[in-house]
Structure 1
Amino acid sequence: MSRPPALDPLFRSLRSIKGVGPQLGALLNRFFGGEGDTIALDLLMHMPTGLVDRRRMVGIAMAPPGHTSTLRLHIDRHIAPPRGRASQPHRVFAHDQTGEILLVYFRAQGNWIEKLLPVGEERFVSGTVGIFNGVKQITHPDYVVDVADFETMPLVEPVYPLTHGLTTKALTKLVRATVETLPELPEWIVPERLEQFPWPTFREAMTKVHVPKEPSDSELWGAARMRLAYDEYLAGQLALLIVRSTLVAAKGISRSFTGEITGRVESALPFELTDSQQLAITIIREDLAKPTRMSRLLQGDVGAGKTVVALMAMAAVAEGGAQSALMAPTELLAAQHLRTIQPLAEKAGLTVALLTGKQPAAERRAVLEGIASGAVNIVLGTHALFQGAVEFADLGLVVVDEQHRFGVSQRLALTDKGRHADLLVMTATPIPRTLVLTHFGDMDVSVLRDKPRGRQPIDTAVLSIGEYDRVIARLRARIEQGAQAFWVTPLVEESEVLDVVSAEDRYAALRDVFGDQVALVHGRMSAAAKQEVMDRFKANEVKILVATTVIEVGVDVPNATIMIIEHAERFGLAQLHQLRGRVGRGAQRSACLLLYKEPLSETARARLETIRDTEDGFVIAERDLDLRGQGDLLGTRQSGMPGYHLAVADVHKHLLEYAHNDARSIWRSNPGLTGPHGEALRALLYLFRKDLALPLIRAG
């Protein structure tokens, strides 16, 4: 089914609108950054970030400096700049019953100002009032209108994010022209929800936000913005459900288990499984036994033992004769998974292989043959696992590590290699419930809450860098007792060059005190050089490792019990939490020291206090969402994360739960999106650019 014709006006190129020439068209294309021409819908979704209230009409004497006022002025005289003195302004003297004011224009060519403000006549003038040499003035007024045309001046005017060369006036005019073409669309919100929230229609809501009569019309917590945020969430949730139904549609394989291989893996483990690991394994086995495809997200904090749960799932699949593939975001992490998994799997009689892009051709060919023949039970690698040359004998389970780097479309591509493969996704970033719904609404979720037995709590302290000498003295004492420490410096402004300088500076300063006991590792070193330093640190030949955030993920040195993070105020909460998780892995008690540089912003102080007060990654993630909004909660690697234009997480996140539940009940009762309500929902998906999901709906 094609796009509803009622939406056509919103999908036309802005170049077809009167007044948009090639120059403005090119500017808008660059600003909105779409593929092809910017369309009317792009303008509609461009939300104002504030308002100018021009309703204050108090007279010159009462007009407060620094604020916008609208004045009814009598124009007295003009003084143009002398010839050849273009830097001097054109000044217009005016008055009302309460006082006098000056209107100032710089670089005014020709006589248009005299025509705009004719001497002896009255005009409404609106702009920001200033004071210069004790006289009130407005420089470059926003509006000047004839008394008869007062109606045309917008008294409450939205303020939009702009780009160089794009004026508020030009954008406002275009947005208003677009709002006028907005059709009245059939209602897609279910009646029960509209009874609970008496929201305006989609068209009324858009009109209120872009052409407000009162400042309250476009407030984030006003009915219009609430309605639009809910609509955006509903479109996202519905699209995820459609994708999920494609993944999970009854074409999985009902797997059976003997318990032999999983039993051997469990008895090979050097520790007992935690309660939440046991529970996750049980639920995953139930999923695998069903005839539908599994689509499950396994969330676990740093060190909660997700890899072991994945191994137990892969062992269970092997009992039915099928293969598993584990995909990691980097070759370094794939190799680390191999070190964890291989010894345990081999004790249980399973063959494990690593497939990477850098393997010698002969070795790679042998691995590919093993995968194709079924001799390899478990294959580990990066996304290269799912490229053309790799053929599986019978791929039963795909495990993806660090999900937030893979979007929905990649999820579909992955499991295409195994037409009936189940999907298990693992993430070490504790994701708050709101974001789980936003980005994984198409998946079931298991959470590993408890830490493996024997994990020690970490003492966390916050100190000013002014205490440096004290820190060094304490560190020396701990090193003499046999401890090892990480000393992390930030990526400064994400500039690789500056990053290395700061790490090298700290390395040099520490070498003056500790000599050869200090080593350095950073992102610009080759993989081999990094590994060599890490191996020396692991072997306890080096006592202090100075590092940038390259150690954030997947470094395991049980003897390291001290983590010092310099410039901690520059790190995000999730990053601080990940870095702290590098210690506390052995039997000794560990410490984490957050060193900050004054002055601290309120947000930075709140972040450091949060890390000091709790080790629970889920509490930290919720706090992170409150402090930063959802934009970059999952760090700078959040490619493929659906961004929102209308919904603002900290104001509207309560609506996500409603949208999620409504999408589920709609999908249960009308999976084909048929009938009048189905058509309204299809229009919603087009409006929010989620129509790529529509071809996936099977007829009826």
Structure 2
Amino acid sequence: MRPEILFPLFAPITSISGIGPRFAVLFERLVGVHILDLCWHLPNGLIDRRYSPQVAQAEAGRIATLVVRVLRHHPAPARGRPYRITVADESGELQLVFFHARADYLEKILPEGETRVVSGKLEVFGGGLQMPHPDHIAPEAELAEIQTVQPVYPLTAGLPQKVVAKAVTSALAHTIDLPEWLDPAFQRQGGWPAWKDALDSAHCPHELPDLDATTPARSRLAYDELLANQLALALIRRNQTRHKGRQIKGDSRLRTQVLEALPFSLTKSQQQVLLEIDDDMASDSRMLRLIQGDVGSGKTVVALLAMLAAVESGAQAAIMAPTEILARQHHKTIEPLARAAGVSVELLTGRDKGKARAAVLARIASGESAIVIGTHALFQQDVAFQDLALAVIDEQHRFGVHQRLTLADKGRGVDMLVMTATPIPRTLMLTAYGDMDVSRITEKPAGRQAIDTRTMPIDRLPEIVDAIGRALRSGTRAYWVCPLVEDSELSDLAAAEERHRELQAHFGDCVGLVHGKMKAKDKDAAMAAFVAGDITLLVATTVIEVGVDVPEASIMVIEHAERFGLAQLHQLRGRIGRGSLKSSCLLLYQGPLGEVSRARLNIMRETDDGFRIAEEDLRLRGAGELLGTRQSGFPEFRLADLQVHSDLLAAARDDAALILNKDPDLESDRGRALRILLYLFERDAAVKYLRSG
């Protein structure tokens, strides 16, 4: 249950005066649904209205707050001309200028003979000073209120700055002092204010440096958010490892047969990771390990060898993939190797229906199927294992933590192995996988060819098409990836279909198409035709980004490469260079390129090291954008910036470990305050892992 002290902050945003149904929709889009969401919406600029000279001394180009008397109204002489009002102080005159304004409204707020405060930007026009559309017009009594530094907030279409600023001010009025959850010595060392003071200060900048993420107020708020994140992950990990695991030791008989069937030897890196997994599985604590391996580094083989240890001990293993294409790809890789060792492998996807599905479920429940490969279908309620000992999850960032835990609940003390081919910078690793041990496969298997990556302007498309034609005639297979479409009625699907039509007109039936909206069986048919060589040029959307393995494909064309993130370009490029053929990747761009896009394409030309690429992507784009959408499984931070606050993240991780060591159930004064912190940042799920939670 959320603590009562936080109820006012979690009241609906509509309980703030002035936010009716129309604005509520816009505020929800901009910040969220609670009053607290407005408090987290920090300003990104300021307007200084303290400059308040006499009219005669006022400088054009500055924002000024002036006390003036209204002299005369000059209604617009013709349509399209401005309405002017002459105002003055004892030093001189000034024109207030309004376009498309109603005369009756202006006469009401600026009556002749009255004194008013006006604040806005000054300009020179026709040799005289004017203020077009003042931001503020108010009685003289409100001078002190206006003559301040005003925060400027990020907006969304339809929400004016004044409305957002007023709503934030109202939201801040709902905040109260909360019990202090920071370590006193650490707080003093940072010179950090109390939580409420930090929030008020962050919303009340006086100078531009006050907007910096490293100010004491903003650093404190960022640390609070990172501490909530790290504490929640530590509680999840402790809960997972608190339940006793099971000791799984294989005798290597199946593993030896598979290693003999492999056409290559394991790299040193693969062997090292396998040793770490074996140690975890042999202990009586539950394994929670992430394998990070670049595209094509051989994670699937390592996962299979780990699963065979479970099978050798008489239990079952499962591997879950985010898409059907990837699940089928794993089945294609794993099944022949497992068969060589006499191990039965089952594939379960959402496509299985009726009697066929019932038969698959029966084989899984009886234990006849030792290894099960599937999609989200694996954690549906009717899927029961006889004895699941190891669960492998591929491309974890496509799943949330709760989905990972749901699969683990299908067995007793299930060991968990997570794989990702998306290289993740260390700071993001801590925020998303702080509950896991991490292994890295850093080498590529022997025989992998380096990929020649080039950038070309898209207006050279005709000669690129000719070059592709020559390659196809020589027996090469190629991918043509269509762009992410932005700000357009055209979808990436429409772009792919149009490019497919054009290339098919050029090359005939050897051109295929695959995209995410296709029926699974059509998608599989297109992929199968590409694997078989019946299709030699495959036009695709980013659906091929993960897991597609066609060693014969050695050319990749990516249209509008400037629209893709670095990690995504790297993933796409990883679909080629998987065999012994020399491979080429062409990144087509639309000029002129911005600074970030140019840097991104240069990095792609310079390196194929996924870990370096991930760090560069974080530097260029920031964590919020790095892994795309909210659905990525990575936490979204409102106050912390992982590039700026990486030192605070490390401190938060150490702090969380120390806290749980000294006060495992958060029952001390600081512990109870930390419970409030978890609820404040909506890490409610972690609280239930406390014994007295």
Distance 1:677 1:410 in 2: 31
Q: What is the Cα deviation at residue 451 of structure 1?
A: 0.7
Q: Which of 367, 373, 376 is the matching residue for 2:360? A: 367
Q: Is 1:341 the equivalent of 2:341?
A: no
Amino acid at match of 2:492: D
* Greater mean deviation of Cα atoms: 362-371 or 439-448: 362-371
Equivalent pair of 1:13/1:37 in contact (CA under 8 Å): no
CA contact (8 A) 1:242 1:696 kept: yes
Deviations 1:172-209 (A, max 9, x none): 23322333443222322224433442222211111112
- In 1, Cα distance between equivalents of 2:666 and 2:76: 67
Is the 1:250–1:291 Cα contact (8 Å) retained in structure 2?
no
**What amino acid is the match of 2:538?**
L
Query: What letter corresponds to residue 686 of structure 1 in structure 2?
Result: Y
User: Could you tell me which residue of structure 2 aligns to residue 55 of structure 1?
Assistant: 50
- Per the normalisation by structure 2, the TM-score is 0.92
Distance in 1 between residues matched to 2:362 and 2:488, nearest whole Å: 43
Partner-residue secondary structure (3-state), 1:437:
helix
Aligned residue for 2:625, secondary structure, equals: coil
CA distance in 2, matches of 1:685, 1:8: 14
Change over 3 Å in CA distance of 1:683–1:169 after alignment to 2: same
Residue 619 of structure 1, CA deviation: 1.0
Q: Are 1:567 and 2:566 matched, yes or no?
A: no
Tell me the residue number matched to 1:199. Answer: 192
Higher mean C-alpha deviation, range 96-105 or range 558-567: 96-105
More displaced 10-residue stretch of structure 1: 219-228 or 123-132: 123-132
Q: Secondary structure at the match of 2:199?
A: helix
The equivalent residue for 1:219 is 212
User: How far apart in 1 are the matches of 2:439 and 2:107?
Assistant: 72
Query: How many residue pairs are counted as aligned between the two chains?
Result: 693
Structure 1 residues 32 and 299: CA distance shift in structure 2, 3 A:
farther
Report deviation, 1:100. Answer: 2.7
Residue 369 to residue 686, structure 1, CA distance change in 2 (3 Å): same
Cα distance in 2 for partners of 1:308, 1:63 equals: 74
Q: Deviations over 1:574-598 (max 9, x none)?
A: 2211111111111122111212222
- Decide which moves more: 389-398 or 61-70: 61-70
Pairwise mapping of residues 70-469 of structure 1 onto structure 2 (< 5 A)? 70-79=65-74, 90-96=83-89, 99-105=92-98, 113-114=106-107, 116-131=109-124, 133=126, 135-153=128-146, 155-163=148-156, 166-469=159-462
Cα gap change, 1:504 to 1:407, in 2 (>3 Å): closer
Letter matched to residue 75 of structure 1? V
Q: In 2, distance between residues paired with 1:495 and 1:353?
A: 43
What amino acid maps onto 1:50 in structure 2?
Answer: G
- The alpha-carbon distance between structure 1 residues 549 and 457, as it changes in their structure 2 partners (threshold 3 A), is same
* 1:113 positional shift: 4.6
C-alpha deviation, 1:395, in angstroms? 1.1
Matches within 5 A, 1:603-614: 603-614=596-607
Of stretches 668-677 and 519-528 in structure 1, the one that deviates more from structure 2 is 519-528
Separation in 1 of the partners of 2:4 and 2:668? 16
Q: 1:636 to 1:132 in 2, by over 3 A?
A: same
The equivalent of 2:476 in structure 1 is 483
Amino acid at match of 1:171: V
Which whole-Å CA distance do the structure 2 matches of 1:339 and 1:161 have between them?
49
How many angstroms apart in 2 are the aligned matches of 1:64 and 1:311? 74
CA distance in 2, matches of 1:584, 1:14: 52
State the partner residue of 2:540.
Answer: 547
SS class of match (1:696): coil
Deviations 1:512-570 (A, max 9, x none): 65445444444454433333333333233444333332322222222222222222222
Question: What are the superposed Cα offsets for residues 627-655 of structure 1, whole Å, 9 maximum, x if unpaired?
Answer: 22222322447344322211233333442
Match of 1:31 in 2: 26
2:5 maps to 1:10: no
Residues of 2 paired with 1:496 and 1:631: CA distance? 26
Alignment check: 8 A CA contact 1:7 1:183 kept = no
- Change beyond 3 A, Cα 1:450–1:97: farther
Tell me, yes or no, if the aligned pair for 1:176 and 1:211 is still in contact at 8 Å: no
Question: Are 1:638 and 2:631 counterparts?
Answer: yes
Structure 1 residues 109 and 471: CA distance shift in structure 2, 3 A: closer
Quote the offset at 1:697 in angstroms.
Answer: 0.8
Check 1:510–1:102 CA distance in 2 against 1; reply closer, same or farther (3 A cut).
Answer: same
Unaligned runs of at least 5 residues, structure 2: none
CA contact (8 A) 1:27 1:166 kept: no
1:682 deviation in Å? 1.4
- Name the counterpart of 1:652: 645
Partner AA of 1:290 in structure 2: S
Contact 1:574–1:635 (Cα < 8 Å) also in 2: no
Q: Which amino acid is the alignment partner of residue 7 of structure 1?
A: L
Cα distance in 2, alignment partners of residues 103 and 496 from structure 1: 42
AA in 2 matched with 1:49: N
Q: Which is further off, 491-500 or 263-272?
A: 491-500
User: Contact 1:523–1:548 (CA<8 Å) still a contact in 2?
Assistant: yes
Is 1:586 aligned to residue 579 of structure 2?
yes
Equivalent of residue 667 in structure 2, options 647, 671, 674: 674
Task: Please say if residues 188 and 681 of structure 1, whose CA atoms lie closer than 8 Å, have aligned partners that are also in contact.
Answer: yes
Contact 1:281 1:313 in 2 (8 A): yes
* Residues 64 and 583 (structure 1), Cα distance of their counterparts in 2 relative to 1, 3 Å cut: farther
Whole-angstrom CA distance in 2 between matches of 1:102 and 1:44: 38
Bigger mean CA offset, 579-588 vs 131-140: 131-140
Aligned partners of 2:317 and 2:378: how far apart in 1?
Answer: 11
TM-score (norm 1): 0.91
Shift of residue 153, structure 1, vs aligned partner: 2.0
- Pairwise CA distance, 1:304: 0.9
C-alpha displacement of 1:306:
1.0
Letter in structure 1 aligned against 2:531: K
Paired AA for residue 21 in structure 2:
A
Alpha-carbon distance in 2 for matches of 1:378, 1:152: 70
d(CA) in 1 for partners of 2:399 and 2:604? 28
Per-residue CA deviation, residues 329-362 of structure 1 (Å, 9 max, x unaligned), is 1222212111111111122232211122222422
- Work out the CA distance in 1 between the residues paired with 2:355 and 2:211: 64
Q: Give the equivalent residue in structure 2 for 1:576.
A: 569
Bigger mean CA offset, 463-472 vs 274-283? 463-472
Query: Counterparts of 1:476 and 1:5 in 2: how far apart (Å)?
Result: 69
- Aligned residue for 1:55, secondary structure, equals coil
Query: Structure 1 residues 685 and 373 mapped into 2: Cα distance closer, same or farther (>3 Å)?
Result: same
Q: Distance in 1 between matches of 2:510 and 2:160?
A: 59
